[in-house]
Amino acid sequence: MELFGVAVTLLLTFAGFGVLIGLLFGFFGMGGSFLVTPALLVMGYPTDVAVASGLAFVFGTSVIATLKHRDLGQVDYKLGVLMIAGTTAGIEVGKMGLHWLQDIGLADTVVSVAYVALLGGIGVFITYTALKGDGGGGVSHDADGEVDADDIPDIAKKIQSYRVPPMMKLRGGVRVSLWMILIVAFFTGLLSGFLGVGGGFIRMPALFYLIGVPVPVAVGTDLFEIVFSGGIGSFLYAIDGAVDFAIVAPLLAGSAGGARLGAAATSLVDEDDIKVYFGVMLLLGAIAVAVRKIGGVIEMPVLDTVALAIIIGAALLVSGAVVVSSVRELRTERAESTVQTAD
Amino acid sequence: MFGIETASGPEGAALIIGLVLVEALILYVGYGALERLLGPTLTRILRGE
């Protein structure tokens, strides 16, 4: 059976996959193309179609997730615009570095190793600090309230201490120099351009650990930036006719619901739990990317499927944990309100 | 889908990206209405009430 010339089973598969991705995207502010592109490649779509359709899907999902985070007061537009400016400049310089490596024939090896090391390194760091509870272990979901000084990471405190005018006041009461924001944005862009990735997994932790904004604001602001990077990127690919709307439309229909749930969950789940889930996602992602790269080197295509299974397994595991944590939090709130009523 | 799979060039790209944007906005409004309609009931069920 077909709908608009596309098999209904395929449309339903994409829609179901979309729900899963949307949930993670709304919760973490990353993970769209990271999950979609490898899945499309394994399904047999050409590389340009897989990359372009993944990017167009990320654009659509980030629009929905950003609007939802805006409703929750978790988007800092001023910070977002500054991040876009700094990131764009960084991406251009990163691309120059990549072209230089291509000229000397080392691009593939260096980028692969750097990508896995960075993904895994950030994953280990975030999981370790969240489990250790260095961030104070507090729950900070109020984007407008002042951030507790104990919840600000030490590196962010150091960066905030450089009071080079003009100073910017960000959501969560954070005060930081405009120049520090531009420098952090430049370096996240540099890595993003050098590795040829969207950079959500670099930007979101950078906003929290380096600038010091609360995690929900870091997620919302990161998504705001992805609206622009995803929109421009997918437009450039679409000029060559690489975006397949038959893939994007059902994925987006599914992810729109998932993104609402994911964004709502950031207001329920403990901030340290968000960090642990994010870290685990990155760690498993690093393993999957390493497996795929090894498969390419030793010419074993089956490892592509193994990598995809790890990615989808990680997505299922982490999204399941997010849903369970959210439900548990809702039930705890109810139990507490029942006790207060009884008192 | 809708005969636009192969749309290319600046106009085709603008058409496809515009469609993705319109679909996203429709879904945002549609799911928002659904959330307002079913959200409280779903939350009560999840809270175990």
pLDDT averaged over chain A? 81
In chain A, the N- to C-terminal Cα span, in Å, equals 60
Q: Is the pLDDT of residue B25 over 70?
A: yes
B32 in a structural domain: yes
Instruction: Give contacts of B37 with chain A, Cβ < 8 Å.
Output: none
CB contact under 8 A, B1 and A246: yes
Q: Is the pLDDT of residue A227 over 50?
A: yes
Domain boundaries, position B46 = 23-49
Task: Give the separation between CA A315 and CA A17, rounded to whole angstroms.
Answer: 10
Q: Which residue of B has its CA nearest to A62?
A: B24
CB contact under 8 A, B21 and A63: yes
Q: Is the pLDDT of residue A141 over 60?
A: no
**pLDDT given for residue A179 in this prediction:** 92
- pTM comes to 0.76
pLDDT, tens digit, 9 for 90 and up, residues A41-86: 777 788 788 888 888 888 898 898 888 888 888 899 999 999 999 9
Instruction: Outline where chain A has alpha helix (H).
Output: 8-28, 32-42, 47-71, 77-103, 107-132, 154-161, 178-195, 200-206, 215-239, 245-265, 271-297, 302-342
- Give how many domains chain B has, as a whole number: 1
Least confident segment among A28-32, A83-87, A141-145, B30-34:
A141-145
Between A307 and A137, where is the model more confident? A307
**pLDDT given for residue B26 in this prediction:** 95
CB contact under 8 A, A4 and B27: no
Task: Give the separation between CA B22 and CA A171, rounded to whole angstroms.
Answer: 29
B4 in a structural domain: no
Q: pLDDT class for A139, splitting at 50, 70, 90?
A: very low
Confirm or reject contact between B11 and chain A (CB < 8 A).
no
Cα-Cα-Cα-Cα dihedral of A322, A323, A325, A330, to 10°?
Answer: 140
- pLDDT, mean of residues A152-170: 82
- pLDDT, mean of residues A81-109: 85
B29 in a structural domain: yes
ipTM for the complex shown: 0.84
Task: Give the separation between CA A22 and CA A103, rounded to whole angstroms.
Answer: 38
Q: pLDDT class for A140, splitting at 50, 70, 90?
A: very low
Q: Is the pLDDT of residue A236 over 70?
A: yes
Between A101 and A141, where is the model more confident? A101
Q: Which of A45, A29, A26, A27 is nearest to A37 (CA)?
A: A45
- pLDDT, mean of residues B13-32: 92
CB contact under 8 A, B16 and A256: no
**pLDDT given for residue A147 in this prediction:** 63
> Domain segments of chain A: what residues?
2-342
Q: What percent of chain A has pLDDT over 90?
A: 5
Q: Is the pLDDT of residue B18 over 90?
A: yes
**CB-CB neighbours of A78 under 10 Å:** 14
